[in-house]
Amino acid sequence: MTECLTTTDNKVLTKGNYAIANAAVMAGCECYFGYPITPQSEIGEFMSGKMQELKRAYVSAESELAAINMVIGACSTGAKAMTSSSSCAVALMQEALSYAASDELPVVLISVMRGGPGLGNIYPSQGDYNQATIGGGNGDYKLIVLAPSTVQECVDLTYKAFYLAHKYKNPTIMLADGLLGQMMEPVEFKEYPYPEIDNSSWALTGAKNRPARVIRSYAPSADNQCEFLKKLHAKYKLIEENETDWEEINTEDADIILVSFGSPARNAKSAMKECRKLGIKVGLLRPITLFPFPSKRISELADTAKKFISVEINMGQMIRDIKLAVNGKAPVELLNRPVGNPPSVEEIVARIKKESEVL
Amino acid sequence: MENNFIIAGFGGQGVLLAGEVLANAFMLDNINVTWYPSYGAEMRGGTVNCEIVMNDAEDVSSVNKAETDYIVALNQASFDRFLSKVKKGGWMIANSTLVKQLKPRADINYIFAPVTALADKLGNVKMTNILSLGVLAKISRLVSLETLEKALDIVIPPHRKSLLPLNIKALKIGYEYDLSLTNV
C-alpha cells in the first residue's frame, strides 16, 4: 500500500493515517519526530520509510516529550516539522505546546483521538476537544485546531495545517479520531495548494553577516509581557477573522440545527437528510476549524433556530462553545456517545423527532 | 443508492483484505466507498470484521450502520453475531464449511457455500476470503468480476504478485459456484 503513494494521478484507496502521512510529505514536511501509539502508529510507520527515502529527517524519539521538543527545535530553524500522537500521549506534550505558542513556532501536531481519561482504550473518541481547543499548558495561548470528517479531508487539512502554522507562526493541531485514522476511502493527492511562507526574517539559521537572534518565552519584565500577550492575542483575533471555516447545509429555514465535527458529523449529515424527507426542518453546521470556532455564525443562526443539538463522541465538550455562541437565545441539547463509534443515523433521527415535538 | 456489507470471520481468514478488495473495486467503478474495520485489541484466532459502505448518490457516507444489506460470515461466531443485523430482505452469505446450515430468521435470504472446502480443493485454504467475494459479486450484482480482478491487482503487493492468478481463479470459482446447491 505505502509504495503507491506520494504522487498519484488517480484516486487511491487508503487509510486515514497513511493519507495524513503522505499529505505531510507532499506539503514539504522536512522533519518527522514521533513515538508510536495506537491508533495513529501508521503515520510514524509510513514516515520511517518515506522520509529516509526522500533524504528528509525521521527520528523515532525516546518519548513524546522528546518528540515535541525536537519539533520545537526544528521549527526554530524555520523548517516544516511535525509530530503525531494520540490522547494520553498528547497529554505529555502540553507543556511544550505552551512554549511553542509563546515562541510563536509553526509546530504541526496530528492528534488522532482515542478513549480516555488516563490510558483509556484504543476506540475512537472526541474526548480531546478540550485538550486541543483549551489546552493543558500554562498561560493565555491558543492553538489552531482543524477537524477532518473524511479521509480526503485528512489530506486537505494536513496541507492546511502546515500552511496556517507557518503563516501565523502558531502551533497547529489536526484533530482526527481513531475511526478516521483506520478508515479507508478513495483520496486524491493534489499538489500542495498553498504558497510557501518566507521564514527568513525570524528563523535561526546561523548569525553569519547578521545580528544574532533569540527565540525564547522568558519575559522578565511585566510590561513587556503585557505587550507580548496583547500582540499574541491580536494575532489570534486575526486568525479568527481570516480562517474560521465550517460546512453548513439546510440551516436557513431550520428549526433544529445539528452541530457536529469529525466522524460523527457524517452520521449527523445523513440523519439531517432523512429528517428533511420527513418534513422536519433540520440543518447541519459542521465546524472545520475548532479554533477559531464558528461562534459568530452560530450566534446568527440562533436568532432564528429554535434548538441546537451537539452530536459528539465524548461526554459533551464542544457543547460548551455552542452554548457560549448561542448565549441563551435557544436551548442547546447533547446527543453523545461516551467513546467508540459515532451515534448511529437511526439514533440521531429518533432524537431529532423527539426534539421536534417540543419546539 | 446505498448498500453496505460486513465481512466477518476469524482473525487470519483475510476478512480485512477481502473488504479492501471490494472497496477498491467500487472505487474503480467511481462509486463513493468507505471501509472501516472493527477496531480493538484484536488477535489471531479471535473474531474480526470490516464494514464497507458504497454510495453512488451522496458524497459522504454515514458509518456505524444499524442494519446491513449483505453479510459474509466466514465462521459460526460471525453468523451468530451478525444474523440480527441483516436488513429485512437482505442477504446472509455463510461459509457452510464452518457454519451450520440453519435459518433462524424467515425475513432474510441465505446462501450457504462451502468456500473453505472449495479453497482447499483449489489447493490453498487461504483463498477462502476471495472465493467468498466471488459469491458475493454474483449475489449482489453490484460489482463485476472484471473490476474485482483489477482491484486484486491493486491490493496484492508487488512481492506477492505471483499469487494473483490463483486469487483470480478463486474469485471465478466463487462466482461460478452453482447456487442451486446452496439450498436457498
Distance set, CA A299 to CA A185, A295, B131 (Å): 34, 6, 55
Asked if A345 and B65 come within 8 Å (Cβ–Cβ), the reply is yes
Residue A8 has pLDDT above 80, yes or no: no
In angstroms, the CA A211 to CA A233 distance is 28
Structural domain of residue B128, as residue ranges? 2-182
Arithmetic mean of pLDDT, A124-146: 97
Q: Name residue, grid cell 433544529.
A: A256
Domains: count for chain B: 1
pLDDT of res. A1: 44
Q: What is the ipTM of this complex?
A: 0.95
In angstroms, the CA A261 to CA A16 distance is 16
- Structure confidence by residue, pLDDT tens digits, B52-105: 999 988 889 999 999 999 999 999 999 999 999 999 999 999 999 999 999 999
> Shortest CA distance to A247 belongs to which of A297, A200, A213, A211?
A297
Predicted structure pTM score: 0.96
Q: Please, which residues have CB within 8 angstroms of residue B74's CB and are 6 or more apart in sequence?
A: B7, B8, B9, B10, B13, B15, B95, B98, B115, B116, B128, B129, B132
Q: Which of residues 319-358 of A touch B (CB under 8 A)?
A: 341-346
Residues of chain A neighbouring B154 (CB-CB closer than 8 A): 13
Q: Is residue B38 less than 8 Å (CB to CB) from chain A?
A: no
pLDDT of res. A269: 98
Tens digits of pLDDT across chain B (184 residues): 899 999 999 988 999 999 999 999 999 999 999 999 986 666 667 789 999 999 988 889 999 999 999 999 999 999 999 999 999 999 999 999 999 999 999 999 999 999 999 999 999 999 999 999 999 999 999 999 999 999 999 999 999 999 999 999 999 999 999 988 765 4
pLDDT of res. B183: 58
pLDDT of res. A6: 61
- Structure confidence by residue, pLDDT tens digits, A242-261: 999 999 999 999 999 999 99
Q: Are strands A256-259 and A144-146 parallel, antiparallel or unpaired?
A: unpaired
Residue A325 has pLDDT above 70, yes or no: yes
Arithmetic mean of pLDDT, A173-190: 96
In angstroms, the CA B53 to CA B36 distance is 9
Q: Is residue A49 less than 8 Å (CB to CB) from chain B?
A: no
What structural domains and CATH numbers belong to chain A?
Answer: 2-193+232-240 (3.40.50.970), 247-357 (3.40.50.920)
Task: Name the residue type at position A234.
Answer: A
pLDDT of res. B15: 95
Residues of chain A neighbouring B17 (CB-CB closer than 8 A): none
Q: Is residue A122 less than 8 Å (CB to CB) from chain B?
A: yes
Q: Is residue A269 less than 8 Å (CB to CB) from chain B?
A: yes
- Structure confidence by residue, pLDDT tens digits, A198-223: 999 999 999 999 999 999 888 778 78
Arithmetic mean of pLDDT, A36-64: 97
pLDDT of res. B39: 67
Asked if B23 and A184 come within 8 Å (Cβ–Cβ), the reply is yes
Which chain A residue has the Cα nearest residue B2?
A270
Asked if A184 and B20 come within 8 Å (Cβ–Cβ), the reply is yes
**Least CB–CB distance from A266: residue in B23, B37, B60:** B60
CATH label of the domain that carries residue B62: 3.40.920.10
Q: Are strands A307-312 and A332-336 parallel, antiparallel or unpaired?
A: parallel
